Amino acid sequence: MISTFDKGVVRFGKPDTRERFCKLVERRIDRYNGFIDKWVRNPSAEADILSVKYEDLTQDSRTWLKKTIMHFSPREEIDETRIDGIVSETPKITYENGRMVRHSTSGVKGTRRVEDFKYYDSEWFAELAEMTRIDGDRKERKTA
State pLDDT tens for residues 7-39.
Answer: 888 778 888 899 999 999 988 999 999 988 888
CB 76 within 8 A of CB 70: yes
Q: Is residue 115 in some structural domain?
A: yes
Q: Is residue 143 in some structural domain?
A: no
Q: Is residue 63 in some structural domain?
A: yes
CB 93 within 8 A of CB 101: yes
Of 127, 135, 137, 122, the C-alpha closest to 26 is 127
State pLDDT tens for residues 57-96.
Answer: 888 999 999 999 999 999 999 999 999 988 888 887 777 7
CB 37 within 8 A of CB 44: no
Q: In the chain, where does DSSP find H-type helix? A: 4-12, 18-39, 54-59, 61-72, 80-89, 122-131
Say which residues have a Cβ less than 8 Å from residue 119's Cβ, sequence separation at least 6: 18, 21, 22
Which residues, in sequence order, are bridge partners of residue 92?
103
pLDDT of residue 19: 93
- Domain tally for the chain? 1
pLDDT of residue 62: 93
User: CA 134, 47, 137 angle in degrees (round to 5)?
Assistant: 20
- For residues 120 and 112, give the distance between their C-alpha atoms in angstroms, rounded to a whole number: 13
**125: domain range?**
4-131
Q: Between 111 and 16, whose confidence is greater?
A: 16
- Could you tell me what percent of the chain has a pLDDT over 70? 90
Q: Is residue 140 in some structural domain?
A: no
pLDDT of residue 110: 66
Q: Is residue 80 in some structural domain?
A: yes
Q: Is residue 48 in some structural domain?
A: yes
